[in-house]
Amino acid sequence: MSGFSPNYTHKTGGAGALLTIAFRNIFRNARRTMFCVIAVGAAVFFIIFYSSLIGGMLASMREAVYVFELGHVRAVSAAYEAETEYNPVQYPVAEGKSLEAVLASIRAIPEVRAAFPRISAYATLQETSIKHAALWGLNMAEEAAANHFNLTDRNNGLVEGRYPEPHANECAVGARFAEKAGLGIGDTIPLKTLSAQFSDKLFEPVITGIFRFDYAKADGETIILDFKRLQRLLSLGDAAQQIVVYGHSPTQSGPIAAALAGILNSGDVITRWEEQYWIVLMDAYQPLYYAMYLVFLVVACLLIVNTITMIIHERIKEIGMMGSLGMTRAEIVRVFFFESVFLAMAGATAGLVLGGLLTGIGQFFPVRWTGMMGGESAFAQIPAASAIFFAFSPAGLLKSWCMGVAVASLFTLIPSLKSAFVEPVEALRR
């Protein structure tokens, strides 16, 4: 019996001797050991794969919320918040205060990296196959310098032409919008929208740019105009419908929101990015993700449990010899438990290496998942890019490895305890 040393005695042995015996035992049946390693390795690999994929999806969703929805913190009036689905323009934020003074005070907050005024409105289109669109008034040059608007290629998203000049009667449209409407650079778009004074505003901006943000909602239905131009068209005077604020880190949204409360009107509504509907929903699913990971581990652990049980049955005489040479029941249990831990560690390490390599490489190459989810139209209302990157995290790899080893070891404790109830004399008779 190559895995058991006859020189072992209770007096001279110790934890080191038990570990040595357990380590040698894993090489006694290479095929059985390989099955256990593959089972745990596959489970840990899938945990790393899916956690990185879901992590990448969440990261994409958060960035879309930062850039297109709320910034890290967004401020609007209470009346606007109550009717937000209609994008009303007659309810400016910080009403009665100078917009420039408010922005200057916000930008002076130590945690603030940038702050921008924005306007969102709906428009009716004429003479095109698309009848409705969303108008987006931005200081595009400043905002593009602060954020990547293309969520996949990490740039300003412009694929043709240029963005509108300040105060000019110009616009930029999404690539999918331009394709569906049959429009290009130099064409005009007849638009009708409703001003803050409830009067119809008709205008025909010239298309100077086409963008692709890799964000279905923006690429398919958004028309970007200069903020000052749209502000004047909608009769907003010196006001803005929204103010979006970016911190040096998303985690600074709390201090920024607290500081904004002292700058804006008491009735204005301040929303942090963590409070966005889809972010709250996905965070609520976190326990479900972990439950899914545990299912992979439990299935893999059942193979180890079965293997350890077979080992105990096959080596019943060896267990009897261990007992007759002075090993206590606790020490016999520890030998088999250590053996299962070694198998779990080997499998978890193999899964970690494969999963780490895949996600490490995958963080540089986008995975397009619109085809798997029903096409880009399925993403029209979801704040996420149509392509995501794996979220590579050394801490996540270590957590997955520890989870694999801990769960696999825990599951093999019961069959290991079975070895303690084998009577040495009865075992040697078999």
285-295: pLDDT as tens digits: 878 877 877 78
**pTM for this one?**
0.78
Residue 323 and residue 191 share a domain: no
Q: Which domain holds residue 58?
A: 15-62+283-429
Residue 105 and residue 239 share a domain: yes
Residue 204 and residue 300 share a domain: no
Which residue, of 233, 267, 301, is where some domain finishes? 267
Residue 68 lies in a domain: no
Contacts 24+ apart (CB under 8 A), 288-291: 289/50, 289/51, 289/54
pLDDT of residue 8: 44
Residue 6 lies in a domain: no
Residue 396 and residue 301 share a domain: yes
Which residue, of 232, 267, 302, is where some domain finishes? 267
For residues 412 and 256, what is the distance between their CA atoms, to the nearest angstrom?
50
Residue 383 lies in a domain: yes
Distance from the first to the final alpha carbon of the chain: 16
CA-nearest of 292, 320, 340, 253 to 25 is 340
365-378: pLDDT as tens digits: 888 765 555 555 55
Helical (H) or strand (E) element with 201: strand 200-203
7-56: pLDDT as tens digits: 444 444 567 777 887 778 777 777 778 877 888 888 888 888 888 888 88
Q: What DSSP character marks residue 165?
A: P
210-236: pLDDT as tens digits: 999 988 888 888 999 999 999 999 999
Residue 315 and residue 380 share a domain: yes
Greater confidence (297 vs 232) lies with 232
Asked whether residue 4 carries a pLDDT value surpassing 80, the answer given is no
Residue 278 lies in a domain: no
Residue 118 and residue 236 share a domain: yes
What percent of the chain is predicted at pLDDT more than 70?
A: 87
Q: Count of domains in the chain?
A: 2
Residue 383 and residue 312 share a domain: yes
Residue 412 and residue 290 share a domain: yes
Residue 215 and residue 298 share a domain: no
Q: Is 39 helix (H, G, I), strand (E, B) or coil?
A: helix
Residue 260 and residue 133 share a domain: yes
Asked whether residue 419 carries a pLDDT value surpassing 90, the answer given is no
Residue 7 lies in a domain: no
Residue 10 lies in a domain: no
Residue 73 lies in a domain: no
pLDDT of residue 429: 62
Which residues, at least 6 apart from 363, have a Cβ–Cβ distance to it below 8 Å? 56, 389, 390, 391, 392
Residue 192 and residue 249 share a domain: yes
Asked whether residue 413 carries a pLDDT value surpassing 60, the answer given is yes
C-alpha to C-alpha distances, 174 to 64, 171, 184, 253, nearest whole angstrom: 16, 10, 10, 30
Q: Count other C-beta atoms under 10 Å from residue 263's C-beta.
A: 20
Residue 103 lies in a domain: yes
pLDDT of residue 405: 84
Asked whether residue 6 carries a pLDDT value surpassing 50, the answer given is no
Residue 409 and residue 355 share a domain: yes
Which residue, of 236, 267, 298, is where some domain finishes? 267
